[in-house]
Amino acid sequence: MSHAAEAPRGLGTRLIQVASLVLVFALLFAATRAVPEIHEGVGTIAAVGFLLLAGTLMSELVETIRVPHLTGYLLAGIIAGPYVLKLIDHQSVANLGRANALALALIALEGGAELKLDIVRRSLRSLLWATLLQSTLVVIGVSAVFFLLRPMIPFLAPLPSMAVLGVALVWGVLSVTRSPSAALGILSQTRATGPVATFTLTFVMTSDVVVVVLVAACLTVVQPMIDPAGSISMREFQALGRELLGSVALGTTLGLVLAAYMRLVNRQLIVVFLALGFGLSEVMRFLHYDALLAFMVAGFVVQNLSRQGEKFIHAIRRTGSVIYVIFFATAGADLDIPLLRALGPVAVALATTRAIITWGTGRLASHLANDPPSVRKWGWSGLISQAGLALGIGASIAQRFPAFGDSFRALVIATVALNEMIGPILFKLALDRSGETSAAPAPARPSMAPPGIVSS
């Protein structure tokens, strides 16, 4: 890297960034204390601007200690959120949370567009072994630890052993979820290319399909274990089949429409993405389709059944650069710090167990698949992060089992918070150690750019 490339990141620039970050926090702190009603009306608009600026500055500062940008966004949100400095209130966080649909739509579209057929074919053996073992050994191992930790988990006390076993199995399946958003965030920042980056991207994006099937099957099986009045019904499996087929069909149609639009019109794509993120996501929710799967299929179709793939990815990158910062900063602001403190010991035990089992299973799967040495050593690192999908499953389980659902969801939030903070750091460390991180200077504000593609 040349001196010219390093100059913008010198000591003087860092001091200016620190001063700017302190000034931004101080100004909003003074404003919220002097005019408490600022949270009403303009609170959400102010929160958007603040999180965008503070998240970007924080990400640049944590980069000096080789911590990923994503962690900087989370830290900015945590500090400014309703549980620390209270610069952003709960209502503003809830309002910003509505933008998650747009962020997840962009993430899924890009992730699908990254799944090129030739890469999937080359990685098929690795994907099969990793999917098989991660979907069995992680479920079994984490479920067993959850069951053994029963004395430490208060809401399990009144349940009989068979019901506790059912809850443990649900927790084990939930532990298989990954975070496509976190993986893409790190790959976007580092612009990494190589076996570890390729394996992580293909596995994390395809594993969501497996998780959807596992969750539906598990809930059907454990229903009579947790609720004696319940019974196993084939209707659940039929509904699952309709959901998957409908999501794939809708995603395929959407992908063909997007490819045709980009070829014939190719204008106002930001409006198209907004319509997809906010409008079509709600339609799919109403129809009980999986939006993440549908958008991922759409991106896959654009990439592999048309010549618009690279153009499509660049369009998502331009649209998503701002959304990405706000998405993770809002996630940080939404972390319930008192809850995390109260459930800390159990959450740490469960998160640590999941990480260890994921590491061991990843090493075994890579050995059986005869993966390259770097994947054998570091392929597990991108599988630690959890985020939206795990929280969504936790909320669904809370509704399904109201007797202990709220407490279960609280434990999910606490555990996911730990994985959300630690996972990206591990993945970036692995990419650095495996030599896959790009030597080119990272952009000041990360984009949705896929690994290996540099801004033109």
Same domain, 80 and 122: no
Same domain, 88 and 106: no
pTM of the model: 0.74
Report pLDDT digits (tens) over 48-107: 888 888 988 998 888 888 777 777 888 888 898 888 888 888 888 888 877 777 877 887
Same domain, 29 and 106: no
Per-residue pLDDT, 259: 94
Q: Is residue 425 part of a domain?
A: yes
Per-residue pLDDT, 2: 35
Report pLDDT digits (tens) over 228-259: 765 566 676 677 778 888 988 999 999 999 99
Q: From residue 184, give the alpha-carbon distance in Å to each of 24, 106, 245, 385.
A: 28, 11, 26, 11
Confidence of residue 448 (pLDDT cuts 50, 70, 90): very low
Between residues 286 and 130, which one has the greater pLDDT? 130
Per-residue pLDDT, 190: 81
Comparing C-alpha atoms, which of 48, 62, 73 is closest to residue 18? 62
Same domain, 35 and 181: no
**In the 8-state DSSP scheme, what is residue 385?**
-
Cα distance between residue 272 and residue 127, in whole Å: 33
Between residues 253 and 155, which one has the greater pLDDT? 253
Same domain, 339 and 405: yes
Of 97, 116, 134, the one marking the end of a domain is 97
Q: Report percent pLDDT > 90 for the chain.
A: 22
* Enclosing domain of residue 107: 100-433
Of 97, 117, 142, the one marking the end of a domain is 97
Report pLDDT digits (tens) over 409-447: 888 888 888 888 889 899 999 999 998 886 554 444 443
Q: Is residue 424 part of a domain?
A: yes
Q: Report percent pLDDT > 70 for the chain.
A: 90
- Other C-beta atoms lying within 10 Å of the C-beta of residue 403: 13
Same domain, 70 and 159: no
Output the CA angle 256-259-264, nearest 5 degrees.
Answer: 120
Of 97, 116, 146, the one marking the end of a domain is 97
Comparing C-alpha atoms, which of 444, 447, 454, 445 is closest to residue 9? 444
Cα distance between residue 257 and residue 246, in whole Å: 16
Structure tokens at 119: 């890469």
Q: Is residue 370 part of a domain?
A: yes
CATH code for position 417: 1.20.1530.20
Cα distance between residue 96 and residue 333, in whole Å: 10
User: For the chain, what is the mean pLDDT?
Assistant: 82
Same domain, 145 and 208: yes
Same domain, 66 and 120: no
Output the CA angle 441-447-448, nearest 5 degrees.
Answer: 125
Output the CA angle 19-330-320, nearest 5 degrees.
Answer: 90
Between residues 200 and 96, which one has the greater pLDDT? 200
Residues 6+ apart with CB under 8 A from 169: 139, 143, 218, 221, 222, 225
Report pLDDT digits (tens) over 270-313: 889 888 888 888 888 888 787 878 888 999 999 999 989 889 98
Cα distance between residue 252 and residue 250, in whole Å: 5
Q: Is residue 452 part of a domain?
A: no
- Other C-beta atoms lying within 10 Å of the C-beta of residue 49: 12
Residues 6+ apart with CB under 8 A from 430: 196, 378, 381, 382
Phi and psi of 52, rounded to 5°? -65, -45
Q: Is residue 334 scored above 60 in pLDDT?
A: yes
**In the 8-state DSSP scheme, what is residue 65?**
G
Q: Is residue 266 scored above 70 in pLDDT?
A: yes
Q: Is residue 446 part of a domain?
A: no
Structural domain count, the chain: 2
- Other C-beta atoms lying within 10 Å of the C-beta of residue 250: 22
Q: Is residue 403 part of a domain?
A: yes
